[in-house]
Amino acid sequence: MAKLEISRNQESGNQSFKQIEGDGWTSIYLPAICAGIIMTIVLFVAIACSKKSDSSANRISAPAEPAASTPVPTTMVSAAAPQATKKVKKHRPANAIYVNGTYGVSFSYPRKYRLAAGNGKAQVPVQTSFLKPGAVQIAAVDVPDDSYPETDFSSALLNVSVNPGMSADECAQFVPASKDTEATKPSTIKMGANEFTALEQMSGEANHQADLKYYHLFKNGACYEFALDVETSRKADEDLAQLDRGQVFKQLEKMLSSAKIKDVQVPGVEKAEKASESKPEDSTTAETKSTGAKNDVTTDATVSTPAADSKTEKAQVVTPEQK
C-alpha cells in the first residue's frame, strides 16, 4: 500500500511538475511567438503595400514616357514651318515708275496700264498744243479698253512731250486742235510739286467726243506738255451708259501729280537760245540770220540728235521700293 501511495505521489508530482513546466514555457515563449507572428504580418502587409504603391507610381509615371517623346511633334511643326513661309507670296506693287534721264522726267503709273516710251521720232498719239512745231514725245500711258465696261468709254491716255524751241511766254500759250474746238481760258494749276498752265479743249460730235486737258510747264529752257485725253464713242443702236469723265480724269491726274522734272540739259535748247540771242548787223544780214535761226530751231527741235536718241533709249521703268 505504501508503495502504491508513493507511486501515486510520484505520478502526481510529475504531473504537477509537467504542468508547472508547461505553464512556464507558454508564459515565456508564447508572447514572443505572437509578437513575431504579428511583426511578420505587419512586414508582409507593409511589403505588399509598398509593392502596390510602386506599381501605382509606375502606372502614374507611365505617361511621362510619351511626354519625353514630345520632340516628335515639334520637329513636325518645325518641318511644316518652312512650308507656311513658302505660301506667303510677295505681291507686286500696284504702281511702277517711268524715268527718262534725257529730259529729266519721271512719274508713277498703274502697272495694269500700258506704257509706251517715245524715242523722239515716234508719232505722238494725241495732237500737241504747242505754239510752235518741234514736239518730241517722251512717253505715253494708255488706259486699258476694258476699264469701264458697259459705258461709251473709248480711250484714255496720258501723253508727255517736250518742245526745246520755245520760250517761257510761248510755253504759256496753246493752239486749238481745230476750228470747232471749244476751249477754256488758260489758268494756273498746281498738281503735285509742279505748277502748270492748263487749258481744256473739247471737240467731236454726239457719237464721238474727245476731251483734252493740256498742262504746260517751262523748265530746263524747254516747254513740257502733259496731255490728258478722254474719248467716248457709241453707235446709234448701242444702249450704253454715259461715261463719268471726271472719274477717268482723276485717274490720269494721279499720274500727273506724281510727275517730277529734274534739272538737266535738254537736247536742242542750247542752239535755240543762241539763235534767239543773235543780233543782226544790218537789215539784210538780220533777215538772213533770222531765217537761219528759225531753220536751226525747227531742225533741232524736229530731228533729235544721235546723243538724244541714245539717251532716250536708256529711259527705263523701275519699281518703287516702298509700295
> What is the DSSP code string of 201-253?
EEEE-SSEEEEEEEEEEEETTEEEEEEEEEEEE--TT---BPP-HHHHHHHHH
Residues near 249 by beta carbon (within 8 Å), at least 6 away in sequence: 211, 213, 228, 230
User: Which residue is it, cell 494708255?
Assistant: 142
The 3-state DSSP class for residue 278 equals: coil
Q: Give residue 76's Cα distance to chain centre.
A: 32
Tell me the sheet residues that pair with 115: 141
Task: Supply the DSSP symbol for 62.
Answer: T
Look at the pTM and tell me if it is higher than 0.85.
Answer: no
Instruction: Catalogue all structural domains in the chain, each as residue range(s) with its CATH number.
Output: 97-267+304-318 (3.40.1000.10)
Q: Which three cell numbers stand for residue 307?
A: 546723243
Torsion angle, CA of 248/254/255/260, rounded to 10 degrees?
150
Distance between the two ends of the chain, CA-based, in angstroms? 143
**What confidence category does residue 11 fall into, taking pLDDT thresholds of 50, 70 and 90?**
low
**What confidence category does residue 58 fall into, taking pLDDT thresholds of 50, 70 and 90?**
low
**Distance of alpha carbon 22 from alpha carbon 192, whole angstroms:** 129
CB of 289 closer than 8 Å to CB of 278: yes
**Distance of alpha carbon 217 from alpha carbon 261, whole angstroms:** 10
pLDDT of residue 18: 55
pLDDT of residue 301: 33
pLDDT of residue 307: 38
Q: Starting from the edge strand earliest in sequence, which strands make up the sheet with 105-110, in order?
A: 260-261, 105-110, 95-100, 316-318
pLDDT tens figures, 77-92: 455 555 656 667 777 7
Nearest CA to 220 among 101, 128, 104?
Answer: 104
**What confidence category does residue 207 fall into, taking pLDDT thresholds of 50, 70 and 90?**
confident
Q: Which three cell numbers stand for residue 40?
A: 511578420
pLDDT tens figures, 292-316: 433 333 333 333 333 334 343 344 5
* Statement: residue 244 has pLDDT above 90: yes
Alpha carbon separation from 143 to 71, 113, 148, 156, 217 (Å, rounded): 57, 5, 10, 5, 24
* Statement: residue 213 has pLDDT above 50: yes
Q: Which three cell numbers stand for residue 300?
A: 533741232
Secondary structure element (H or E) that encloses residue 140, with its range: strand 136-142
Q: How many CA atoms lie within 13 A of 71 on its CB side?
A: 1
* Statement: residue 258 has pLDDT above 90: yes
Mean pLDDT of 222-243: 93
CB of 183 closer than 8 Å to CB of 193: no
DSSP secondary structure of 79-118: HHHHHHHHH---PPPSEEEEEETTTTEEEEEETTSEEEE-
pLDDT of residue 241: 93
Task: Supply the DSSP symbol for 191.
Answer: E
| Mean pLDDT (the chain, rounded) | 75
